[in-house]
Amino acid sequence: MPNLPVFAPSPTPESKPFWDATGQGKILLPRCNDCGTVIWYPRTTCPDCMSSDVGWFEASGRGTIYSFAVVRRAGGPWRDALPYVLAYVELEEGPRVLTNIIDGIDLEVGQSVVAVFHDTGEGNALVRFRTA
Amino acid sequence: MHAEVAFGALKDAGLGIEDVDGYFCAGDAPGFGGISMAEYLGLRNLRHIDSTETGGSSYVLHVGHAAEAIAAGKCSVALITLAGAPRAAGLRVLGGGGGRGRGWGDTPEVSFEGPYGPNVLGYYALAARRHMYEFGTTSEQLAWIRVAASKHASHNPYALLRDPVTIEDVLNSPMVADPLHRLDSCVITDGGGAVIVVSPEVARDLERKSVKILGHGEGVKHTNNGRIDLTYTAGVISGKEAFAEAEVTPSDIDYASIYDSFTITVLIQIEDLGFCEKGKGGAFVSDGALESPHGALPFNTDGGGLCNNHPNNRGGMTKVIEAVRQLRGEANAPVQVPDCQLALAHGTGGTIGARHGSATVILGQPDA
């Protein structure tokens, strides 16, 4: 499969810890210290219980495919990467995150995947996945 | 184009610019939305504006909001417009790009989604894949939706795609984002539309036949703190609200305009609106059930967004217009539902693959 474009994210004060960790090959997830909910995408308040006491913990990097699409038509820089796989991966910790599966298009819902980190050159990395 | 459709609708209703005291528009209106448009259109008597943006479903929602505003005495003649020309601007693939922040502004999710190339095709394919996984829905079942739309479009001289297609045509068309084929997708067209909503007092004095707004509902669905469930839409909420207000049930509906950005959009919404059980949409839409006039649920008799027109990538306006045409008995003759008493128009704007707003209206005869 062709290489996927690597766009750097735009970290905000809310999301900076997440992005800084990706630069070290780690996934940090926010968790509400009051109700225990793992929050996605990162926020400094809990959308389940309105708490502002949100901390970070390191995720395993393992998950399963919740759904995937093999995109065969796209414009811009994605045209050169076709076909590519857009997916929701359900992390072991709960959240379903939008991402890419990088090692093939012959996939199944429920399949196990592990995180890989694509360096953006800006001190952080995009979190994509390959089959386990 | 906004002016063409606005003035066309006003003339059709037998009203003038000076009569309009409420104006509704969405994200396709440039500049300051209602303010900029009021100036361009020459609206001088406005006392109520609303630019609620829920993507393609906005205009269905606006019908509901206009009815609310009129009932509250805030206006008596409400104009709703949509227009745009993405095809003329060269757009050929819906949501062709992806990448950082493309068109998303400063939304908080942008860095967590944009870099992974989520175009519209991909988002809807994600929903289709999950529906297939959970309920055994097949590509052939989805193809029945396109077949019905194409038959309807063949009777519409203005439709972009007027040739009827077969199940095989759909299944043999190239994949655009597996499991969706090219013929599972809507067209990209230039165009627009306008609707006038008036108070009962104003309607009484008009020569043109009006239809009555019996119920309206709206709803929002999003990624739910990372626990998105792709198998349903906010139509679950908007449909329930609209049916309750209209005091009718899905089986009472004679004609339905169902938002059709993709075939999967139609199938999931039909379930969400209660025309069949969740997960049974595939069986429901098969074997010509959506074909007018003899199917179980005649839908999108103009050919819909799949074959006729999806102006500015926003299909809600045409959904309302075709429902009104059916109730007036003015649909294209071969697809006119006989004695059409109750019609539904439903839209979903945004993407069912992430976040969207749904709106439903139920319309009836003037004496309903």
Do β-strands B191-198 and A28-32 pair in parallel, antiparallel, or remain unpaired?
unpaired
The band of B101, judged by pLDDT with boundaries at 50, 70 and 90, is very low
CA distances from B288 to B56, B152, B282, B299 (A): 26, 12, 12, 11
- On the question of a cis peptide bond just before residue B179, with omega within 30 degrees of 0, the verdict is yes
A120 min Cα distance to partner chain B (Å): 11
Residue A2 covered by a domain: no
pLDDT of res. B93: 62
Backbone phi, then psi, for B133, in 5-degree steps? -65, -45
Check residue B304 and report its DSSP letter: I
Residue with the larger pLDDT of the pair B109 and B174: B174
Q: Where in chain B is the domain with CATH 3.40.47.10?
A: 2-87+192-204, 110-188+212-364
Report the distance separating Cα B292 and Cα A15, nearest Å. Answer: 52
Residue A95 covered by a domain: yes
pLDDT of res. B103: 44
* pLDDT per position as a tens digit, A57-90: 999 999 999 999 999 998 888 888 999 999 999 9
Check residue A112 and report its DSSP letter: E
The band of A2, judged by pLDDT with boundaries at 50, 70 and 90, is low
Work out how many domains chain A is built from and give that number: 1
Predicted confidence (pLDDT) at residue B96 exceeds the cutoff of 80: no
Using a CB-CB distance cutoff of 8 angstroms, which residues of chain B are in contact with residue A9? 100, 111-112, 115
Residue B111 near residue A15, CB atoms below 8 Å: yes
The band of B89, judged by pLDDT with boundaries at 50, 70 and 90, is confident
Is B230 close to A7, i.e. CB distance below 8 A? no
* Best mutation target, A16, A46, A71, to test chain B (most B CBs within 10 A): A71
The predicted model gives B84-103 an average pLDDT of: 63
B254 min Cα distance to partner chain A (Å): 35
The predicted model gives B296-322 an average pLDDT of: 95
Is B96 close to A76, i.e. CB distance below 8 A? yes
ipTM value > 0.95 = yes
Predicted confidence (pLDDT) at residue B322 exceeds the cutoff of 50: yes
Report the distance separating Cα B255 and Cα B337, nearest Å. Answer: 7
Find the distance separating the first CA and the last CA of chain B, reported in whole Å: 34
The band of B202, judged by pLDDT with boundaries at 50, 70 and 90, is very high
Q: Which of B101, B110, B117 sits opposite A71 (nearest CB)?
A: B117
Residue percentage of chain A with pLDDT more than 90: 87
* Best mutation target, B109, B110, B124, B129, to test chain A (most A CBs within 10 A): B129
Using a CB-CB distance cutoff of 8 angstroms, which residues of chain B are in contact with residue A75? 93, 96-97, 119
The predicted model gives B249-266 an average pLDDT of: 98
Predicted confidence (pLDDT) at residue B32 exceeds the cutoff of 90: no
pLDDT of res. A1: 54
The predicted model gives B73-88 an average pLDDT of: 94
DSSP H/E element including A55: strand A54-58
CA distances from B170 to A61, B167, B185, B283 (A): 39, 5, 10, 17
Who's near B315: CB < 8 A, 6+ residues apart? B56, B186, B259, B260, B261, B304, B305, B347
Residue B307 near residue B153, CB atoms below 8 Å: yes
Tokens at B319, concatenated: 């959904």
Domain B2-87+192-204 sits in CATH at 3.40.47.10
- In three-state secondary structure terms, A115 is strand
Residue percentage of chain B with pLDDT more than 70: 96
Residue A59 covered by a domain: yes
* pLDDT per position as a tens digit, B208-219: 999 999 999 999
Query: CA torsion, points B101, B227, B268, A84, in degrees to nearest 10?
Result: 50
- In three-state secondary structure terms, A107 is coil
A82 min Cα distance to partner chain B (Å): 10
Predicted confidence (pLDDT) at residue A103 exceeds the cutoff of 60: yes
Tokens at B13, concatenated: 């209703």
* pLDDT per position as a tens digit, B127-154: 999 999 999 999 999 999 999 999 999 9
Predicted confidence (pLDDT) at residue B100 exceeds the cutoff of 60: no
Residue B328 near residue B211, CB atoms below 8 Å: yes
Predicted confidence (pLDDT) at residue B33 exceeds the cutoff of 50: yes
Interface of A with B in 82-111 (CB under 8 A): 84, 86-88, 94-100, 105, 109-110
Tokens 């037998």 identify what position?
A: B14
Report the distance separating Cα B242 and Cα B252, nearest Å. Answer: 13
Report the distance separating Cα A51 and Cα A13, nearest Å. Answer: 18
Domain B110-188+212-364 homologous superfamily, CATH: Thiolase/Chalcone synthase (3.40.47.10)
Do β-strands B356-364 and B77-84 pair in parallel, antiparallel, or remain unpaired?
unpaired
**Could you tell me the residue range of the domain that residue A52 belongs to?**
16-131
The band of B87, judged by pLDDT with boundaries at 50, 70 and 90, is confident
- CA neighbor of B358 nearest in space, from B9, B30, B55: B55
- In three-state secondary structure terms, A119 is strand
DSSP H/E element including B273: none
Is A95 close to B226, i.e. CB distance below 8 A? yes
pLDDT of res. B92: 66
Predicted confidence (pLDDT) at residue B99 exceeds the cutoff of 70: no
The band of B18, judged by pLDDT with boundaries at 50, 70 and 90, is very high
Predicted confidence (pLDDT) at residue B104 exceeds the cutoff of 60: no
Who's near B336: CB < 8 A, 6+ residues apart? B292, B293, B301, B326, B329, B330
Report the distance separating Cα B191 and Cα B187, nearest Å. Answer: 12
What is the DSSP secondary-structure string of A7-41?
PPP---TTTHHHHHHHTTT--EEEEETTT-PBPSS
- On the question of a cis peptide bond just before residue B259, with omega within 30 degrees of 0, the verdict is no
Average pLDDT, chain A: 95
Tokens at B6, concatenated: 């606005």
CA distances from B297 to A36, B239, B263, B287, B294 (A): 46, 16, 15, 12, 8
CB-facing half-sphere around the CA of B54: CA atoms within 13 A: 30
